[in-house]
Amino acid sequence: MDTKPVQLDNIDVLQVLNEEGMVDTTKAPPLTHDQLRRLYVAMVLTRKFDSRMLAMQRQGEMGTFAPNLGQEATQIGQVFPLTADDWFAPSYRSFGAQIWRGWSMEQLLLLWAGYHEGFPPPEGVNDLPFSIVIGSHVLPAVGVAMGMAQKKQQHCVTVNFGDGAMSQGAVNEAFNFAAVYKAPCVFVCENNGWAISTPLQRQAATESLAVRGIGFGIPSIRVDGNDILAMVAATTTAAERARAGQGPSLIEAVTYRMSLHTTADDPTVYRQEEHVDPWHQRCPLLRFERYLNRESILTEDECRRIADECEQRVLEARAKFREMAKARPEEIFDFVYHTMPPELIEQKKDYLSRLARKGLNP
């Protein structure tokens, strides 16, 4: 049986910033120095937040979550071109993008610690709540985009999902609806190489996932997902197409999951460390920093200062979270029935009295 991936030559591949921090100026998006600095700060903040969340989870302060170490460029690049009137439908590995969109870090900490008030998008932020169910949020995102088209609004929706979601029927249905109705939607497949423990070559017979978009009639491109400039260029073009009524685009952002699938995962069981090592040199932060230093946009001292400031911002958010994260055990009774039955009222009274006897007053 031939297990080699099918080679397809009709998919464009975009890289602007290579691993040495050198830029192809013919493909680079026209960004100001201030925009480049903002992108860098957002990527550093994403990594600092990820690192702190992992430490908090290991210390019992945080629930299970999905780290995004190494995917900072993919995250920030896909939301950079969005306006406040555009919509974003995130998957569960998207907190860097959510911070860019206006979510406070303390709210995201509440979300991952299991407090229901952490889930609704902040006031004035046009984001959908994420779904843990793989690919289930992609159809609603297309629905929002189709609503925009019906109302003749010149906005767009960006929705992201992992390579594993490409195997879900709902995602392929979303592609078809968006293509047929020219929904103003930007699909971003974050191909990080692993669907939990399943490597890409075990779930797709094609070398590129972007080719799937072609089959539905969607303009598609494969992008170096660790290249922030390529991500900005590709998503800007796709967003502009969508707003102009030209329909959806599919961007396959090729990156790598450097860390765990979630904090309940142990990747050493199914992958070798030598497969991870080459990706350290492809680090999105490292290559962007090399470019910014070379172009005198940021000095090494300024990069260190930004890292310290981002760490301090994360610690301040953690302090706010700790003030907000107060256990409310009585709530486990309060949202089941509209009118609580007598036996449940008695159970609640007994439960709260037991807590009180232990000095655990809610």
Same domain, 266 and 347: no
pTM of the predicted model as reported, rounded to 2 decimal places: 0.92
Same domain, 315 and 339: no
Whether 206 maps to a domain, the answer reads yes
Same domain, 339 and 320: no
Report pLDDT for 9. Answer: 54
At residue 219, what are phi and psi to the nearest 5 degrees?
A: -55, 130
Whether 115 maps to a domain, the answer reads yes
Q: Which residue has the tokens 């073009």?
A: 237
Same domain, 147 and 271: yes
Same domain, 216 and 344: no
pLDDT tens-digit map of 258-317: 999 999 999 999 999 888 999 998 999 999 999 999 999 999 999 999 999 999 999 999
Same domain, 204 and 336: no
Report pLDDT for 331. Answer: 82
Whether 251 maps to a domain, the answer reads yes
Instruction: Work out the percent of the chain whose per-residue pLDDT is above 90.
Output: 85
353: containing domain: 327-362
Whether 7 maps to a domain, the answer reads no
Whether 188 maps to a domain, the answer reads yes
Q: Which residues are catalytic?
A: 257, 261, 270
Same domain, 223 and 354: no
Same domain, 299 and 203: yes
Phi/psi zone of residue 219: left (φ > 0), alpha (ψ -120 to 50 degrees), beta? beta
In angstroms, how far apart are the furthest CA atoms of the chain? 72
Whether 6 maps to a domain, the answer reads no
**CA distances to 173, 333, 344, 358, 359 from 353, in Å:** 52, 14, 14, 9, 10
Residues of the chain with pLDDT under 50: 1-8
Report pLDDT for 6. Answer: 41
Count of domains forming the chain: 2
d(CA 262, CA 146) in angstroms, rounded, equals 33
Whether 4 maps to a domain, the answer reads no
Report pLDDT for 163. Answer: 95
CATH number of 39's domain: 3.40.50.970
Report pLDDT for 17. Answer: 97
Same domain, 157 and 108: yes
| Two tokens, residue 178 | 């968006």
Same domain, 211 and 80: yes
> What rounded mean pLDDT belongs to the chain?
93
DSSP 8-class letter at 267: G
Same domain, 190 and 237: yes
d(CA 100, CA 84) in angstroms, rounded, equals 11
Q: Is 281 helix (H, G, I), strand (E, B) or coil?
A: coil
Same domain, 193 and 340: no
| Two tokens, residue 16 | 């602007």
Whether 2 maps to a domain, the answer reads no
